[in-house]
Chains A and B, each alone.
Chain A
Amino acid sequence: MTGRLGGPNGTATARRTVPTVDGPEELTDSRLNRAAAAGRAAVDNLEAFYSRPIGWWALLVTLAYLAYGGGAVMFWVHALVRGEAGPAISDLAHWLLDSTLGFLALGPAVFVLLPVALWAVRRLKDGRIGVRSTGFVVLVGTVFGVVTIPGPALHNLLAGAGTPLAEMAERILGRDPAVAARNLHAVDHSAWSESVVQLVVGVPVYLVAAALALLTVRRAAGARRRRLSPRELIGRQR
């Protein structure tokens, strides 16, 4: 659509034709227009995805699975299997604390990631729902795994054993003597090693978490549909 849509004072246009590039000014104008149109389209897509409650539910459930479910496995790998040191608080409190921080910190990333992944899989030539679902899960799990690569290194830097944050956590949540004793035998790993483990272990874990989240939302949506009467269903789906 390239037609001019008269707005206030006749200046507003809906979408402008990209002008022929003749000089620096028009080039800039053209690039600005394209950038503005691309930005507008991105916001429109986000708005469209979250225009239905199921978009928000999908965000919450996916974040919960990734942060708390995936976080539990990664906590087990880093703290218990590899023996990395952390604050001397109980394992349950440690997992809850780390997962909640991950839930909040990575919320914005997943908020954008879900619509982007849907946008990407809608461009697949194969429109079968199984193919799209697999593509969606692979995208969400992989991108989330990659985004969390610096997580362990940042965790050790900010909240590793002996840091002010770790001491504050011990004061607030209580010191666990068993964990404190375990910390005495903690193994120091390089940031590089921890990042590799986060990627190699994290991506498969987050793939499973993303798949479980997708199945959970689908089952919940199906159960809700069965509860609604046909009349309510039509009214809500409009």
Chain B
Amino acid sequence: MKRALNSSSSVPNAASDEINPAPAVAFIGKKVLVGVEASDDAGEVLEAAVEQMANEHRADLVIVYVEPLLDARDIFDPQGIDRQADPVAELELSFPQLSGRIRRVTGEPVMAICAAAAEEKADLILIGSSFRRRRFLGTSGSRIARFASCPVRAVDEKRAG
């Protein structure tokens, strides 16, 4: 399941339009915030990125799991929510050696991740490819890049595969 982080792509950012693949040493001691959306289908890619960032790049990780404001399953499939595995617990189980923290927040993903990055004084935000999907008002990834106070990198599921 390991995939090279170098195969990820960057979301244009005001501070740096393109993040060049950085050498491992660049992230030592840096704080990397990994944004995971409840509807994120790039979980495996993110897991690989987390593993590489934590184990190989030795970055200080903060994983932010964003639960949506409104979930249609609340009313249309409540049993589906009850039976859903807790993704945060899964991440903890997948990476018992993880030297980072996992934060669970509820809210609009873009602002929740940007706020967490600002609070944590993150050096880099890592997001999954689902953030690059176009929604009503543009992609979440481009909006994160617009509002974030640090560079943003989107892990591309297809290119990483």
Contacts and interface: CB of A to CB of B under 8 A. Distances in A.
A7 interface: yes
A49 B70 contact: yes
A133 B74 CA distance: 9
B78 A129 contact: yes
Contacts, number: 120
Interface stretch (A37-45, A68-76, A80-88, A144-152): A37-45
A222 to B, nearest CB: 6
Contacts of A23: none
A14 B114 contact: yes
Q: Summarize A's interface: helix, strand, loop or mixed.
A: helix
Given A48-B108, A51-B39, A118 B75 contact: yes
Contacts of B27: none
A102 interface: no
Q: Which 7 A/B pairs are nearest by Cβ-Cβ distance?
A: A55-B72, A221-B77, A8-B14, A48-B68, A44-B108, A1-B115, A48-B70
Interface of B: 14, 38-41, 43, 68-80, 83-85, 87, 90, 108, 111, 114-115, 117-119, 135-137, 146-149
8 contacts: A14-B147, A51-B39, A51-B68, A122-B74, A218-B76, A237-B80, A237-B84, A237-B85
Interface of A: 1, 3, 5-9, 12, 14-15, 40-41, 43-52, 54-55, 57-58, 114-115, 118-119, 121-122, 129, 132-133, 136, 214, 217-218, 221-222, 225, 233-238
